[in-house]
Chains A and B, each alone.
Chain A
């Protein structure tokens, strides 16, 4: 759907000196923004610099960031997965249903991850097996997966999760470091290594830059993409466990609209929406920025929907500004 070949931004980064420099500076720019927001928040509110408050603030982004890591890989490979929030809903509904049957925590975790994997597999099979465009497929499964939760739950809610299950969303690993935050750091390292230090990661970039060339160079394009959708499903399942555990209940509207926030996080992190470039450190910084902005707005008592306006503006301006900037530079060069 997106015309990859029509965009001047889709040229492989290593062939474009200036592009590489701009890309390199994107993460440093994010770092500067993150530090500025951190300082701004510390000055604006005396409660910000408390370790426990900061720890609370991390819950704003850890679950979304888990999905964003996998989503970054999917987007770098030139695809997209809009069904992640619906996978959270379906996995949460399955866990809630299991609780009513008296299932205990370890099995609940297995169910959450399992449902995520199955959903990812459905997406992957439709996209790589039948060769369908990922944007339409995942719009379809987005409505299918959440629709299934609606069939099971209607206007009801599942509650009564076992006490030990609460640890995933509310427990602390050590001192102020919550289980979720620890998991976030761990996953950041794993995905960073996977994308930047392995053959698999190089294959993801290769596919995103030129799928046909990648295929002819011996990259198993379909298999790599299938694995990416599996990973995204698995991450959504994991996020579902954390979110369900944190909320302690399941409604079919759980995590509504999260796909937008996850995509925003990835794009803000400097991943090219048309595929081919982006880094995990960028996504980590974007997660921190979005988390701190949300927390800061919360301290200022800004309603959630106004925050979503801000996120929408952020999404568009993050892509528009570099284009305008590049254009202005070109004009100056002439």
Chain B
């Protein structure tokens, strides 16, 4: 029983987070209050939403390095839309951001599906293209807080039962993703494609199309995060969230989502994001320079992937593989 519990990655991660918080609490008890936890969760919400999308992609043995660039482009378009038509209802702006995000995800997905280009190459390429497009769109200009309408900026902060909408949205996305992953054919297909693409083909799953849908999902969530990011920080420019794609992947790797595909869970992605969120919020509390965060995330990624690799050692091996299965 105990050994089985210890092998469960999510429980291990919960233990790690609790230990981390306890360590901080020893010297800074003020960090451990419900209000402080709510703040940390709220601050991590965007990362959680993005990690959920990345999880779907990684499960299918792909990777999406363009999520942060997608976020920046969708966020910029949302901000421009709001500046040009301040009267436009905010839900519509969010929909546009999500639709654009989905479209950008579809471009990635199509290149991976129809042309069979390795995902890392596709998204490395689109990462620079999407970010470059922001520059073409804006000429490098910023959209500042005073140019955005009040409603645009207020929504994520709006309190609902004492909890900001931003937190509610991430909770909603977690619930939705949980349903998709566990209760729909698409969710199960993500696992099947990543676990064994050949077997997936024989069970009637279109591997390429499943990957395409995973990219649509990650793109849509990146689009939503684009609006949330821009309205939360009340500024949009070319370099917002630059390098954030690494944090997203880090959250997934820490959460036990295997980069080899097929292994991972919604809970893992959320906990992985929270782990990074706790570190990020604790650094200023325990008086470590924010410049240290990058090195810490890097170290945590390496440790996490090493730990996960131990747990994932295959018991059996495929001896014969058909090259023409796909």
Which residues on A are within 8 Å of B, measured CB to CB?
Answer: 1-3, 5-8, 11, 80, 126, 130-133, 135-137, 139-148, 150-151, 154, 257, 260, 263, 267, 273-274, 303, 305-306, 308-309, 311-313, 315-316, 319-320, 323-324
A135:B116 contact, CB within 8 angstroms: no
Interface residues in B295-312 (C-beta closer than 8 Å to A) = 295-299, 301-302, 305-306, 309
B33 at the A/B interface (Cβ < 8 Å)?
A: no
Q: How far is the CA of A80 from the CA of B121 in the complex (A)?
A: 11
A136's partner among B115, B259, B293, B294 (CB-CB below 8 A) is: B259
A273:B305 contact, CB within 8 angstroms: no
B197 at the A/B interface (Cβ < 8 Å)?
A: yes
Given known A142-B246, A308-B132, contact A80–B323 (CB-CB < 8 A): no
B128 at the A/B interface (Cβ < 8 Å)?
A: yes
Select the residue from B63, B111, B121 with max chain A CB neighbours within 10 A: B121
B321 at the A/B interface (Cβ < 8 Å)?
A: yes
B121:A146 contact, CB within 8 angstroms: no
Interface residues in B232-284 (C-beta closer than 8 Å to A) = 238, 246, 249-250, 253, 259-261
**Number of B residues with CB within 8 Å of any CB on chain A:** 52
A126:B302 contact, CB within 8 angstroms: yes
B129 at the A/B interface (Cβ < 8 Å)?
A: yes
Q: Which residues of A contact B296 (CB under 8 A)?
A: 147
Nearest-neighbor residue (CB-CB) of A272 within chain B: B118
A136:B292 contact, CB within 8 angstroms: no
Q: How far is the CA of A292 from the CA of B152 in the complex (A)?
A: 45
Select the residue from A136, A142, A303 with max chain B CB neighbours within 10 A: A136
Q: How far is the CA of A320 from the CA of B110 in the complex (A)?
A: 12
B259:A126 contact, CB within 8 angstroms: no
B120 at the A/B interface (Cβ < 8 Å)?
A: yes
Give the dominant DSSP class at A's interface.
Answer: helix
Q: Which residues of A contact B61 (CB under 8 A)?
A: 1, 3
| 11 additional A-B residue pairs with CB within 8 Å, beyond A1-B261, A319-B115 | A1-B119, A1-B260, A6-B323, A130-B309, A143-B297, A273-B121, A305-B131, A305-B135, A305-B238, A309-B136, A316-B122
Mark contacts of B119-141 with chain A using CB atoms, 8 A cut-off: 1 yes-contact digit, 0 otherwise: 11110111111011101100010
B298:A140 contact, CB within 8 angstroms: yes
A263's partner among B115, B124, B295, B323 (CB-CB below 8 A) is: B124
Q: Which residues of B contact A309 (CB under 8 A)?
A: 128-129, 132-133, 136
Given known A5-B321, A141-B302, A151-B291, contact A133–B136 (CB-CB < 8 A): no
A150:B295 contact, CB within 8 angstroms: yes
Q: Which residues of B contact A143 (CB under 8 A)?
A: 246, 250, 294-295, 297-298, 301
Q: How far is the CA of A144 from the CA of B304 in the complex (A)?
A: 14
A140's partner among B63, B128, B301, B325 (CB-CB below 8 A) is: B301
A311:B128 contact, CB within 8 angstroms: yes
Q: How far is the CB of A58 from chain B (nearest CB, A)?
A: 23
Q: Which residues of A contact B260 (CB under 8 A)?
A: 1, 133
Q: How far is the CB of A74 from chain B (nearest CB, A)?
A: 14
Q: How far is the CA of A144 from the CA of B119 in the complex (A)?
A: 24
Select the residue from B63, B116, B246, B325 with max chain A CB neighbours within 10 A: B116
Q: Which residues of A contact B15 (CB under 8 A)?
A: none
A3:B126 contact, CB within 8 angstroms: no
Given known A154-B291, A309-B136, contact A315–B124 (CB-CB < 8 A): yes
Q: How far is the CA of A267 from the CA of B120 in the complex (A)?
A: 12
B289 at the A/B interface (Cβ < 8 Å)?
A: yes
Q: How far is the CA of A260 from the CA of B297 in the complex (A)?
A: 21
Q: How far is the CA of A126 from the CA of B298 in the complex (A)?
A: 13
B128:A151 contact, CB within 8 angstroms: no
B326 at the A/B interface (Cβ < 8 Å)?
A: yes
Given known A2-B120, A260-B124, contact A154–B289 (CB-CB < 8 A): yes
B298:A147 contact, CB within 8 angstroms: yes
Q: Which residues of B contact A324 (CB under 8 A)?
A: 115
Q: How far is the CB of B105 from chain A (nearest CB, A)?
A: 15
Q: Which residues of A contact B324 (CB under 8 A)?
A: 8
Q: How far is the CB of A64 from chain B (nearest CB, A)?
A: 15
